[in-house]
Structure 1
Amino acid sequence: MLEPTYQADVVVVGAGIAGLSAARRLTSAGVTTVVLEAAPEVGGRMTTEKIDGFRLDRVGQPLSTGHPQLREAAALDGLMLRPFAPGVLLHSDGRHHRAGAQPGARGARSARGALHAVRTLASTPRPGTGPRRPVAVPGRQVSLPRHRSGAPLGTAVDQARLGAALTRLAGTPVERLLARPELPAAEALVTRGLPARTVDGFLRPLLAALLCDPDLTTSSRCADLALHAFASGRLCLPEGGAEALPQRLARTLPPGTVRTGVRVTSVSTTSVTTAEHGEFRCAAVLVATGARAAAELLPGLRVPAFHPVTVVHHTTDEVPSTGASLLLDADRGGPVAHTAVVSAVDPSRAPAGRTLVTSTVLGAATAGVDTGVRMHLARLYGVSTARWETLAVRHTADAVPQMRPPHDLRRPVRLLAGLYVCGDHRDTGSVQGALHSAGRAAAALLADLGVNGSLHTADPVATAHAA
């Protein structure tokens, strides 16, 4: 039973990734904290459904090891981040092309070496063939053509330019990225000095997947942060499902800190009122819910528009030849923005002998989405999907907050002395944005309470974007 007059230094409303991360920082600083969650479990949008031995994420966003805060959160309880194959796999003209695989940010010298190597490769035809030389990629034949029509990345030299650009980006300080003029991402891409073929065939589908924004209306600064993280690390998934991250964060908190099934109806600077369990008195309140729920508790708080996402999970006895790759459609010939054989990335997500394929559709839900997805997947994977079994189709209308320019990467987290707010709607619409805002809110709260806030050591903006 909950004690109606329970005393705590801080009450955190919401046990999503932001609330749990903030609670960890507060309790680590010696601040007594209670986390109240209306749902029966922690995680918010980072939940994982269990069906017949499969683990199905609600929002299938890939994360990136290029974000220090994600690595820090995952390391708390030994969570494994399972990496995709390097880069991404692009589907174009019925073929697969590996793109964006970075051997490591080794500077301009490495980029010049790569450019020379690709030029040599492009000028050396195989006996009896034209000027195209195949490169081995597991399960597929991939070509580096000299002509624009042969691959989504343009010529071999264009591809070397892309590799050099990603290498430079990985080494660019975040402050320089944020100093660039802010435009919609779609407009900014044409100013980056890369050929149109490379932009349309690689950067647009990649950013659409990372930002959950098919039209790339997102601020170019947020897009640059996404590409920076992509170039600096590897795309990944938490082992065991998205819920593993919030669950492990919850386990790092003192016993009894998290109370689920408690619905908060109002907040003030000194108390929280709940529907069934009375009032919780405290010295400060941190609202760490989604944007809509936060606005109900904090009248006047701006609610952003959202990017809706539909995730479709299939299983099959077959194993597509793409391996553990994130597969994008460079031709944009169907509803699927990105898809992956998730069980190849993280085997714990499917029973032995079964394959789990997870596909993401961006935009409003449509009738018969599974039929359109199956037809598109048949082209993307090059196999019949007629016998694939649909495990679940999950639509989330408020999946990712939109970040149209001008976008404030550091929206205020301190509303009043004693009243704070955090979440992905305060930084960037991503797991990393939620973690970053939690750190900022905890630091502000500790400062106001007169507690040493040195635990908040992350770069204030460096990790503020999406994967």
Structure 2
Amino acid sequence: MGTTDDDELHDVTVVGAGAAGLACATDLFAAGLRVRLLEADDTVGGRMRTDRVAGFTVDRGFQVFNTAYPQVKRRLDLRALRLRPFTPGVLVHTDDGMRRFTDPSRRFRESRDLLPGRLASGRDLLALGVLTARDVLAPASRLRTRPDRTTLTALADAGVSPDLVETFFRPFLSGVFLEDDLETSARFFHLVWRSMLRGTLCLPADGIGAVPAQLASRLPPGVLRTGAPVAALTPHGVTLTDGTELPSPTVVVATGQRAAGELLPGLSVPRGRTVTTLYHASTTPPLTEPVLVIDSRRRFLNSCVLTALHPRYSPDGRALVSTSVLGTPDAQAVAAVVRALGEVYDTDTVAWELVHRVTVHDALPAMPAPHPLSRTTRVAPGRYVCGDHRATGSLQGALASGTRAAREVLADLGRPTGH
């Protein structure tokens, strides 16, 4: 087991070392199978990657790590990640100035903006309280089995007014779903809302890439092979782009949806959401608090001062500001975003230096209602597919899908699953 001999027949080849592939390979190896994990890139993580640019620590797109996810609790050593928490809640820039939307049970003294008439009406606050209590207290299984509809419809049915939707929910959830029509499955919304209220949103001290790196560290030597892009699946295994054939009776495709559709012709895959993140350096921090900032006018998805979370994200003492927008903005659109940031942060952004820009295509799968929260990974005899596009667009969804793939492979091979 764990050999690097490419000619040896492996029981299972897993294609893609993102979160789903890492979870799948780990479970299959733990069950005693000979596993090969192939990754096209030079390291693991897929979309969960961290780069060093001019000394700055920048993730491939703004991401947050949620400690409430069941798969996170099961698979990761949170202490080893050296997590840096965001302030609970968000700051909302409105026409009346900045307002704080926070959980009164965590930050009661900072919840004055939840008094009627500031951020929302008394009726809205009551509706929001009932919605929140139901999501936090109800078993997750009940949320998963509710009749599905769009998030926008669910908010209206819960009694949330259009005013609060436009002031808070649409700007906030656009950054969560990477779409601003709120067409995303209400089941997913309720589960996300629940997890945010139950967990802590944070980032590892070394960036989000520390998460897949820790998962990969649990694999024994010889299982993972990086720099090995797969060109095609064959009746006997896989073929790499350099023509190397690797035999394996069982193959699990654990790539993003676009690559999965290419490797498995005929596979139905969802549309992908595209997001661009801008990283600016500023000599003066526009905000000293590690909190997410959103704009009720939706000129950007969200923004935060990453160095308020952890100063070592910057190499020279300057503040590092992360701002995300939908799609792929041109130079004129980027300039408009920077001007909007000046207004929102009430600061001069003219001297801000753009140190990095990253566009992530298929950053999340589209999840319009009705949306199944989990789907079988079986495609054909000996062929499986997993990833967040087979579940929900989240780390939890990716890990859960990889877990399901391993469980279904083991079941089909007549092996005990162990969980």
Deviation string for 1:414-461 (max 9, x for gaps)? 123321110111001222211110011011112222222124xxxxxx
Which residue number corresponds to residue 67 of structure 1? 69
Alpha-carbon RMSD: 2.4
CA contact 1:370–1:393 (8 Å) conserved in 2: no
**Alpha-carbon distance change, 153 to 237 in structure 1, aligned in 2, over 3 angstroms:** farther
Q: Distance in 2 between matches of 1:69 and 1:145?
A: 36
The equivalent of 1:153 in structure 2 is 120
Matched, 1:7 2:9: yes
Structure 2: 5+ residue stretches without partners = none
Deviations 1:180-205 (A, max 9, x none): 33222222211112343333322222
Between 404-413 and 375-384, the greater mean CA deviation after superposition: 404-413
Query: In 2, are the aligned partners of 1:90 and 1:96 still within 8 Å (CA)?
Result: yes
Aligned twin of 1:404: 368
Aligned pairs for 1:214-363 (under 5 A) are 214-268=180-234, 270-276=236-242, 278-321=244-287, 323-332=289-298, 334=299, 336-351=300-315, 353-363=317-327
Report if aligned partners of 2:101, 2:113 keep a CA contact under 8 Å in 1: no
Give, in angstroms, the shift of residue 69 of structure 1.
1.2
Residue of structure 2 equivalent to 1:425:
389
Deviation for aligned residue 1:2: 6.0
- Does the CA contact (< 8 Å) of 1:262 and 1:277 recur in 2? no
Give the residue type in structure 2 aligned to 1:192.
A
Gap change, CA 1:28 and 1:349, over 3 Å in 2: farther
Structure 1, residues 153-180: CA drift from partner, whole Å, max 9, x if none?
334x643653453233111122322333
**Which amino acid is 1:346 matched to?**
H
Tell me the CA shift for residue 367 of structure 1: 3.7
What is the distance in 2 between the residues matched to 1:2 and 1:143? 59
Out of 171, 195, 200, the position equivalent to 1:205 is 171
Further displaced range: 320-329 or 271-280: 271-280
User: Residues 367 and 14 of structure 1: is their aligned pair in 2 closer, same or farther, counting only changes over 3 Å?
Assistant: same
215-224 vs 420-429, greater mean Cα deviation:
215-224
| Aligned length, in residue pairs | 416
Q: Which residue type is aligned with residue 320 of structure 2?
A: L
SS of aligned partner of 2:416? coil
Matched, 1:390 2:390: no
1:87 aligns to what? Answer: 89
Tell me if the contact between 2:278 and 2:322 (Cα under 8 Å) persists in the aligned partners.
Answer: yes
Matches within 5 A, 1:188-199: 188-199=154-165
**Partners of 2:177 and 2:147 in 1: CA distance:** 19
TM-score, normalised via structure 2 length: 0.92
Between the aligned partners of 1:91 and 1:29, the Cα distance in structure 2 is 51
Instruction: Tell me how far apart the structure 1 counterparts of residues 155 and 113 of structure 2 sit (CA, whole Å).
Output: 25
CA contact (8 A) 1:341 1:356 kept: yes
Q: Work out the CA distance in 2 between the residues paired with 1:23 and 1:375.
A: 46
Mapped pair 1:165 → 2:120: no
Do the aligned residues in 2 keep the contact of 1:50 with 1:56 (CA within 8 Å)?
yes
Alpha-carbon distance in 2 for matches of 1:384, 1:282: 59
Report how far residue 409 of structure 1 moved: 1.7
Deviation at 1:64, TM superposition (A): 2.0
What pairs up with 1:444-463 in 2 under 5 angstroms?
444-455=408-419
Confirm or deny: 8 A CA contact 2:65 2:208 kept in the other structure: no
Q: Aligned to 2:11, what secondary structure does the other structure show?
A: strand
Deviation of 1:146 (Å): 4.3
Structure 2 partner of 1:130: none
**TM-score scaled by structure 1?**
0.83
Query: For residues 101 and 418 of structure 1, what CA distance do their matches in structure 2 show?
Result: 47
Q: CA deviation at 1:397?
A: 2.6
Q: Does 1:40 align with 2:4?
A: no
Aligned to 1:175: 141
Matched residue of 1:377: which SS?
helix
SS state at 2:247 partner: strand
Q: Give 1:300 deviation, angstroms.
A: 0.5
Matches within 5 A, 1:15-54: 15-54=17-56
Aligned mates of 2:325, 2:42 — CA distance in 1: 28
1:368 equivalent in structure 2: 332
Can you give the 5+ residue segments of structure 1 that lack an aligned partner in the other structure? 105-113, 115-134, 456-467
Q: Contact 2:378/2:408 (CA < 8 Å) preserved in 1?
A: yes
**Other structure's SS at 1:242 match:** coil
Aligned to 1:464: none
Partner residue in 2 for 1:128: none
Give 3-state SS (helix, strand or coil) of 2:297's partner.
coil
User: Percent same amino acid among aligned pairs?
Assistant: 39
Contact conserved, 1:94 with 1:380, CA < 8 A, in 2?
no
Q: Which has the larger radius of gyration?
A: 1
Alpha carbons 1:153, 1:202 under 8 Å: kept: no
8 Å contact from structure 2 (residues 124, 159) kept in 1 = no
- For the residue of structure 1 that corresponds to 2:389, the secondary structure is coil
Superposed displacement of residue 359, structure 1? 0.6
For the structure 1 residues 450 and 82, does the alpha-carbon distance in structure 2 shift closer, same or farther, using more than 3 Å as the test?
farther
* Deviation of the 1:88 alpha carbon: 1.4
**Shift in CA distance, 146/19, structure 1 to aligned 2, threshold 3 Å:** closer
Render the CA deviation track for 1:298-345: whole Å, top value 9, x for unaligned.
11011211111010001112122350101111233x2x1111111222
